[in-house]
Chain A
Amino acid sequence: AQSVAQPEDQVNVAEGNPLTVKCTYSVSGNPYLFWYVQYPNRGLQFLLKYITGDNLVKGSYGFEAEFNKSQTSFHLKKPSALVSDSALYFCAVNNAGNMLTFGGGTRLMVKP
């Protein structure tokens, strides 16, 4: 069985500061990892994915994520947070066809 953990329910960061949203996973075999963002009362938007290759993956809106196989982590990062980045972020893992298993989500609050 595959699983994803997002250990922080909420992350608070000041605008302009770097942000990190944590994600750890558990799968058998090679993990395929995804980050999505959800704004209030909206669907999820795809940010980025790791399939293979470079451990640092760049995605939409200036976000990036670092795959760390030894720590089974895939943390989402951004060098300088914007107030508009405030949203709910989901990490997901896939190693069984196209089935995604989602973490519980982390609410990011960026304060001016």
Chain B
Amino acid sequence: DGGITQSPKYLFRKEGQNVTLSCEQNLNHDAMYWYRQDPGQGLRLIYYSQIVNDFQKGDIAEGYSVSREKKESFPLTVTSAQKNPTAFYLCASSRGQPLPYEQYFGPGTRLTVT
């Protein structure tokens, strides 16, 4: 998981509350990503950022928001608009374009909303 930290490891929230998941990297990578993983499924891209102060929606951005004010940090907010927020959330980073660099993943945050 080296170089990417996610906190907390487990997070519990009540329905209707917004919650922010932290992601920090010290790899000096330009690009950062947020994925959602549900049991028995692959990873789905929520948001990505190729450079500071810029980010793009992924395949399932509805109900989520992000910011990228610093190169090292890419926090994800799960809003009350997200209909089914309970999942395992993974943050990743990689070197920027143009080459297809591999992504490095953090250890993940398991969010449970009741």
Please indicate whether A and B come from the same complex rather than being unrelated chains. yes
Interface residues of A (CB under 8 A from B): 9, 32, 34, 36, 41-46, 49, 51, 90, 94-95, 97-100, 102-105
Interface residues of B (CB under 8 A from A): 1, 4, 6, 31, 40-43, 45, 48, 50, 88, 90, 92, 94, 96-108, 110
Instruction: Enumerate the 9 nearest inter-chain pairs by beta-carbon distance, A residue then B residue, closest first.
Output: A43-B105, A32-B100, A102-B42, A44-B105, A104-B42, A94-B100, A102-B43, A46-B102, A43-B1
A/B interface sample: 27 pairs, CB < 8 A = A41-B108, A43-B1, A43-B6, A43-B90, A43-B108, A44-B90, A45-B1, A49-B100, A49-B102, A51-B99, A90-B42, A94-B100, A95-B100, A97-B97, A98-B31, A98-B48, A98-B50, A98-B100, A98-B101, A99-B45, A99-B48, A100-B45, A100-B103, A103-B42, A104-B41, A105-B41, A105-B42
Q: Which residues on B sit within 8 Å (CB–CB) of A32? A: 100
Q: Is the CB of A42 within 8 A of B107?
A: yes
Q: Is the CB of B108 within 8 A of A42?
A: yes
Q: Is the CB of A51 within 8 A of B108?
A: no
Q: Which residues on A sit within 8 Å (CB–CB) of B4? A: 43
Q: Closest Cβ of chain A: how far from B96's Cβ, in Å? A: 7
Alpha-carbon gap, A46 to B94, bound state (A): 12
Alpha-carbon gap, A42 to B107, bound state (A): 5
Q: Which residues on A sit within 8 Å (CB–CB) of B94? A: 98
Alpha-carbon gap, A32 to B97, bound state (A): 13
Q: Is the CB of B43 within 8 A of A46?
A: no
Task: Please name 20 further chain A to chain B contacts, defined as beta carbons within 8 Å, in addition to the given A94-B100, A100-B103, sorted by A numbering.
Answer: A36-B105, A41-B108, A42-B1, A43-B92, A43-B107, A44-B105, A49-B100, A95-B100, A97-B50, A97-B97, A98-B50, A98-B94, A98-B100, A98-B101, A100-B45, A102-B43, A103-B42, A104-B40, A105-B41, A105-B42
